[in-house]
Amino acid sequence: MASATGPDADSERRNVSDAAGVVVLGACAAWSLITAAMHDGRPEGVLLAVLAVSAGYASGRISGALVPVAAPCVVALAGLGLALAEPRLAPGPQFTVPLGHAGATAALLTLAVGSACCATWAASTPALRLASGLLAAGITVTSAVLGSITGFAMCTAVLLCSLAAGRMEHRGLGVAGLGLATALVTGATWAVAGNVLPEGLTTSLEGRLTPHRVQLWQDALHMAHQDSALGVGPGRFGELSSAAAEALLPDGKPHSAPLQMAAEQGVVGVLLLAAAFGWVLHALWRTPRSTPIALTAGVALTGLALIASVGNALSFTSVSVGAGFLAGLATARPLADDSSRTASDARTRGDRLSP
């Protein structure tokens, strides 16, 4: 009989985690269709994001199993290339800071550094570890050269946390900390939109966030209060927001993923967004990969969540695909590990059967 803590138990936990992910992502897609039907909305953006995350996750699982070192390095280079070319890849008006492609650039750089650090921990030779480590450091320096303050801060945080993760024996506390950090930033965003912070702090934050962004958040919160159950419908924020209409180049986004879900899909949409992020953290907690890889990916994905809380990073398909790919890489079981385990089990059975 297989041990409750052996390979069969690990496989069962992975199956449960994968099933939970299918349910959560399916619910996100279904709820966007329901709210769109109720308010004549446009669910294409949400459906595309769900498809992008799903495709990225599946590709990451496959690539992580076949080439656990090469795949994250390739993803890191691709993320760097997309970060450099992003302003010219997206259709439509080319927005500038502070509400334009800065968030997407920072998100791609953060995911790229996370992938490179995962490759460093997965590498089995000093040469590969050195090469992937230099790649991560190079991307961080590039973020500073590009003038992406947020990207540089997040890349540095991923690098430092990845180094610290190597000294952690238990990942549960680290995963819980990542969830708490995301909840705090989301709560702060909500507090700024609701104008419930002390006046001095609100003024300081508004200066950094820009008044226009805060006005967008306030419009989103107002829409959420109007219909907290269903929201105003996917894709309709730009039509109903006075702040969005006043912009020179409106993109129809409130530049905050939680507030956009609250405005367009109500409380259920926010809960589903939280459930999707919670599922990713749970999958990283239960992954068979090493703790440094799990926590490094978790820090990078949490960095993306923080950027998305105050920007429109998730509106870019490349970011959604990259997030799913990194999560898939960090939760894949390399085939080499399975082969080693099978050989070890065979040797153990042979020893037991020998006289």
Q: What is the pLDDT at residue 325?
A: 97
Rounded Cα distance, 35 and 229, in Å: 9
Taking the C-alpha atoms of residue 143 and residue 105, their distance in angstroms, rounded to an integer, is 9
Q: What is the predicted pLDDT for the residue at 1?
A: 35
| Residue 343, pLDDT score | 42
> What pLDDT is stored for residue 3 in this prediction?
38
Reading the block at residue 79, the tokens are 């993320």
Q: Mean pLDDT for each consecutive 10-residue tract of the chain (355 residues)?
A: 49 77 96 94 94 96 94 95 70 42 88 97 94 96 91 96 90 95 94 87 83 91 92 91 74 89 96 97 93 96 95 91 96 72 44 47
**Nearest-angstrom CA–CA distance, 297 and 27:** 24
Q: Vertex 279, ends 276 and 285: CA angle to 5°?
A: 150
What's the confidence (pLDDT) of residue 102? 76
Contact predicate 35/264, CB 8 Å: yes
Per-domain residue ranges of the chain: 9-334
Predicted TM-score (pTM) of this structure: 0.89
Widest CA span of the chain, in angstroms?
84
Contact 297, 114 (CB under 8 A): yes
pLDDT of residue 253: 87
Residue whose structure tokens are 């153990």: 348
**Residues 69-82 pLDDT 10s:** 999 999 999 999 99
CB neighbour class for 93 (10 Å; exposed up to 12, middle 13-18, buried from 19): exposed
Q: Produce one character per residue of 155-192: b if its CB has 16 or more CB atoms within 10 Å, e if not.
A: bebbbebbeebeeeeebeebbeebbeebeebbeebbeb
Cβ distance 102 to 148 under 8 Å?
Answer: yes
Residue 282 is predicted with a pLDDT of 95
pLDDT at 216: 92
